[in-house]
């Protein structure tokens, strides 16, 4: 088994210009660039930071994830952050249903 270290960023959707903390005009050529597709040409992984926040993940559907997979090369990998409701509110407490929320069985 060969060991690998994958290098990526904590997201890819930084569409503001540099002066506003974004990557447009620095990494992304322009505001119309398909960011995930472009990002995946340079990195083989990315963290899905947005899934940590309920205000974002509550709006995600199966189609969101299918679209992300289709926008990236076959071996691209996503690191999915555990939502804050599980890590901060339930503190990973099994008795509060934290593992049920993750659909992880013991």
Give the tens place of pLDDT for each residue, 7-51.
999 899 998 999 999 999 999 999 999 999 999 999 999 998 888
Q: Mean pLDDT of all residues in the chain?
A: 87
CA distance 106 to 100: 10
CA distance 8 to 31: 21
Whole-model pTM: value is: 0.78
Q: How big is the chain, counted in residues?
A: 106
DSSP 8-state code for residue 77: E
48 touches 70 (CB < 8 A): no
CA distance 42 to 40: 5
pLDDT at 106 over 60: no
């Amino acid at each position: 088994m060969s060991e690998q270290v994958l290098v990526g960023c904590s997201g890819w959707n930084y569409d503001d210009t540099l002066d506003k903390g974004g990557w447009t005009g620095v990494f992304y050529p322009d505001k119309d660039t398909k960011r995930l597709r472009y990002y995946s040409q340079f990195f083989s992984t990315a963290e899905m930071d947005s899934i940590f926040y309920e205000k974002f993940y509550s709006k995600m559907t199966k189609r969101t994830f299918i679209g992300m997979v289709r926008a990236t090369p076959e071996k691209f990998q996503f690191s999915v952050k555990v939502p804050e409701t599980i890590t901060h509110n339930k503190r990973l407490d099994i008795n509060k249903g934290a593992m049920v929320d993750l659909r992880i069985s013991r």
